[in-house]
Structure 1
Amino acid sequence: MKVQRSGLSLMALSASVLAITAAQAGQAESNGFIEDSTLDLLARNVYWHMDRHATGAQDNREWGQGFHLNYSSGYTQGTVGFGVDLNGYMGIKLDSGRGRSGSGLLPVDSSTGRAEDEFGSLGGAVKMRLSNSELKYGQLRPYNPVIAVADARLVPATATGFQLTSAEVDGLLIDAGHFTSSKDFNQAGSRDGFYAGYAGVEGGNVDYLGANWVASDALSFSAYGSRYEDLWRQYYGNAIYNLPLTDEQALNFDFNIYHTRDNGKSLAGDIDVTAWSLATAYSVGAHTFTVAHQRVHGDQPFDYLTLGGGGFQDSIYLANSSQLVDFNGPGERSWRATYAMDLASYGVPGLSFYVSYIRGDNVDGSKMDPTSPYAYYGDSEKHWERDVNVQYVVQSGAAKDLKFRLRQATHRISGTSDVDSDQVRFIVEYPLSVL
């Protein structure tokens, strides 16, 4: 899945505030290992239809049911608290077939080309907390600009390693990690590696260090540095500003920038790329209008981490990364316009939708080393994508929080790096809090 960042920087700022607030809850407020425990079950049903308009390109049409069971203990009381997180994930095939598999919903049997009937995994992590700092080891779900494992199919992807978060200073969250293996959202094991998505090359371990600072209710900053062993070093910066105009109107600005250089054995060849985006959103009542511009400077595309199951992850926070493509080709320039509406103001709480149009051009693969794994871009490529998303969440009653989401995307290209395609996803989710 490509991340659809709608440009609503206020939402991103709010997420940063909530993350830091949660981290600052602190060991002093622990009620105990059992007393603070939670057990949640999520049932997710996904229908996926991809139509690629090209000779020899395989279309996908699959339907599956997923279940997520997540247990999170509290922390033992005392100066240092200890706890565990446990998870069980299962995916079941409802419809697929030879020639229609490969959407990423289900693992594919390489000997038959058919999707597996079912798959699952059990995992967990141990954790400790001192003051407002938390250290975890095990099967985790890191989510930040340099390593963000996705939850875009039947079950989530995970990464195995260490993660440390610390919120000892008000408004400041430190985030660091070391990860050695992964499990994609269509895999049962947890011993696969990490890959450069567009190069299709596997590297080694992943290390990162980052900081998120909420300077005020309106302004936040993020900075991350990472090393993907034998592939690249990557640096990221972000600034988000929300400017209220009236009680009903506001402007939001969201700036993102990455710089990537090859590292170690340079398994994907030479890489020297800077990519940035700026999104501006104007909201008035139930309506939000967003425009965004994105650029890639370099002879290679902007690449990012994926896992072994073949699906793209969320480790790209550029504004024009969309449902089907990322608009991240070498030298590419792209523009996006989005309209979003929340119908709660019109008497239909829980119903929302958005529509986006993105156009990219100036893709230039002519300066690419012919031996590079990225040497499939043409010269002067251009393309566009249109995304439509409609979502409804039941607000009350026995089915409260039941969510329906319909996503449709259309992509058309003049070039060699991709094909024309149309995709429909229909997703139904029902969360249940057991404890």
Structure 2
Amino acid sequence: MFLKTKSIPLVILTAGCSFMPLANAANFSTGGFFESSHMDLILQNVWMLNTTDQLADQGVGDQNAWAQAVHLNWESGWIWDTVGLDASWYGVAKLYANDAFYGRDLVRDNNGHAEGFNKLGQIYGKGRWGDKAQHLYLWAGWKDMYKFGTLTSSHSRATPSTWEGISSEVAWNDFTVRGAIVTRFSERDEPEKRRFMTLSSGQQIDYIATGDATWSPSKGTRITYVMGEAKDYLLRHGIEANARLPVTDKFSLLTKGVFYYNRGLSAWEGTRSFNDDAEHLYLQLGYQYGGSESGIGWSKTRAPLDNGLGNFYWHFGKNSRGAFNSPADGEGNDYINDGEQMIYAYSQYKFSPELMAGIYGNYGYGVEYQNVALKEWEYGGYFLWSPEAIKGFSIFAGVGPSYSWKLTPKKTPSLTDDKRNFNRAKGIGAALRVEYKFNLF
């Protein structure tokens, strides 16, 4: 079925190519719409593993999945240098999936059966006025919205998640303002296009509105205010800032900080994640010297919840994906529980324009559940290789162990029988991604 459905866009492409000589013979012009268009083909092979026993009490074991993805991305030219249309088709084939494959979000979960899928992930109209420094951009339709206001699209799996709605960007030299209203979402591991829903009652959320305002006076330095609201459900404000301060030609200081504030609105149930409001703060200091870069950071979260362990929830309901630009979103654990503080450190080195490698570590402390202190941590290493001899080709790999606490069926920390300690969860996470990008025309 995958091969049969995968041929649909190829048939369309072939038909379009066969029509082009006729168009040229008739001296037909679309004002640059087709003549200046281009298409990319991206092949992605992704394998992900997580051996954590955090959900062992619910019968969930190792999470292992392997998928092959095909992306066709078409961008039109501009009619009157103002109007255009872009579209992307995504196809995914299952190469391997064990019983708990769904935890890796690579292939479709069809009632417990792993399947490949395909979908028209993006199709949107676009408009532009002005130039790069001073402009107005408009988009309408299904679109990949990576780190747009308080929303984002996942780029870490076989296909990106996409949003349906309208969005815009206004830029004036060092200042940029963006805004969007979205009504539906298509997740990274399924073809369905879904409405937003509340977490507990399952009621529909009509829309999510978001925006941001950025001042970027120099390369590597910017401060952004972000805001987003799921209608009558959840409101978020935030500040994201980073700066690069040159000391010498080779040495620079790096700083970063984020602060997010969540507040439940009239339809917020207050039974998941936090009662009424929550906060998350992250601060980081580092340096860059030549090809090396290192940093250390600290975070703290406040998210009180009655009858449970609260956490800073960064999405906007079911079938949504919120932006969260803090290393507290760890590779294995999320260090965003009520009262939790985290220490994060990383170091990476660019050996050449082709090869970069690094190590990282997270340590979370300060959490208490029923008077029991909880601690979690992880560490690991990664590398990225992009050989200049093979344009568009790259390999990324990462691996490392993580340690947290087991969860009960109610998703609360699992304590020992004497209620004086917690049951430790541990496991290893690993990922391998091979990507090859071709420019078809």
> Superposition pairs for residues 17-416 of structure 1, below 5 Å?
32-54=32-54, 55=56, 56-77=59-80, 81-110=82-111, 113-121=112-120, 123-131=122-130, 132-144=135-147, 146-167=150-171, 169-193=172-196, 204=205, 205-217=207-219, 219-269=221-271, 270-299=275-304, 300-305=310-315, 313=321, 315-344=323-352, 349-365=353-369, 379-396=372-389, 399-414=390-405, 416=407
Q: Which 10-residue stretch deviates more, 228-237 or 210-219? A: 210-219
Q: 1:307 to 1:37 in 2, by over 3 A?
A: farther
Offset at 1:267?
3.0
After superposition, the C-alpha distances for 1:336-391 in whole angstroms (9 at most, x for unaligned) are 111101111xxxx311111111101112355xxxxxxxxxxx84221001131111
Paired AA for residue 235 in structure 1: H
Q: 1:379 to 1:130 in 2, by over 3 A?
A: farther
Offset at 1:232?
1.2
After superposition, the C-alpha distances for 1:65-88 in whole angstroms (9 at most, x for unaligned) are 00111111132116xx21111110
Q: 1:154 to 1:280 in 2, by over 3 A?
A: same
The whole-number CA distance in structure 2 between the counterparts of 1:434 and 1:303 is 41
Offset at 1:41?
1.3
Offset at 1:38?
2.6
Paired AA for residue 437 in structure 2: P
Residues 43 and 68 of structure 2 are in contact (CA less than 8 Å); yes or no, is this contact kept in structure 1?
yes
Q: 1:195 to 1:64 in 2, by over 3 A?
A: farther
The whole-number CA distance in structure 1 between the counterparts of 2:311 and 2:379 is 21
Residues 227 and 236 of structure 2 are in contact (CA less than 8 Å); yes or no, is this contact kept in structure 1?
yes
SS state at 1:34 partner:
coil
After superposition, the C-alpha distances for 1:234-274 in whole angstroms (9 at most, x for unaligned) are 00112211111111111110111101110121134423111
The whole-number CA distance in structure 2 between the counterparts of 1:122 and 1:142 is 12
Report the TM-score, using the length of structure 2 for normalisation. 0.80
Report the TM-score, using the length of structure 1 for normalisation. 0.81
- The percentage of aligned residue pairs carrying the same residue is 19
Offset at 1:109?
1.7
The whole-number CA distance in structure 2 between the counterparts of 1:53 and 1:37 is 49
Residues 195 and 305 of structure 1 are in contact (CA less than 8 Å); yes or no, is this contact kept in structure 2?
no
Residue equivalent to 1:20: none
Residue equivalent to 1:371: none
Q: 1:192 to 1:394 in 2, by over 3 A?
A: farther
After superposition, the C-alpha distances for 1:371-412 in whole angstroms (9 at most, x for unaligned) are xxxxxxx8422100113111111112xx32311111113210
Paired AA for residue 430 in structure 1: Y
The whole-number CA distance in structure 2 between the counterparts of 1:386 and 1:189 is 35
Q: 1:134 to 1:37 in 2, by over 3 A?
A: same
Paired AA for residue 322 in structure 1: G
Offset at 1:164?
0.9
Residues 234 and 316 of structure 2 are in contact (CA less than 8 Å); yes or no, is this contact kept in structure 1?
no
After superposition, the C-alpha distances for 1:51-100 in whole angstroms (9 at most, x for unaligned) are 1235322322221100111111132116xx21111110000011124454
The whole-number CA distance in structure 1 between the counterparts of 2:114 and 2:162 is 21
**Alignment gaps of 5+ in structure 1:** 1-30, 367-377
Residues 292 and 320 of structure 1 are in contact (CA less than 8 Å); yes or no, is this contact kept in structure 2?
no
The whole-number CA distance in structure 1 between the counterparts of 2:109 and 2:241 is 41
Residue equivalent to 1:26: none
Offset at 1:229?
2.3
The whole-number CA distance in structure 2 between the counterparts of 1:244 and 1:180 is 43
Paired AA for residue 52 in structure 2: R
The whole-number CA distance in structure 2 between the counterparts of 1:206 and 1:298 is 22
Q: 1:53 to 1:298 in 2, by over 3 A?
A: closer
The whole-number CA distance in structure 2 between the counterparts of 1:277 and 1:140 is 29
Residues 333 and 377 of structure 2 are in contact (CA less than 8 Å); yes or no, is this contact kept in structure 1?
no
Higher relative CO (Cα under 8 Å, sequence separation at least 6) belongs to 1
**Alignment gaps of 5+ in structure 2:** 1-30, 305-309, 414-424
After superposition, the C-alpha distances for 1:194-240 in whole angstroms (9 at most, x for unaligned) are 676xx897762210121111123453110011101243100011221
- The structure number with the bigger radius of gyration is 2
Q: RMSD across aligned C-alpha pairs, in angstroms?
A: 2.4
SS state at 1:420 partner:
strand
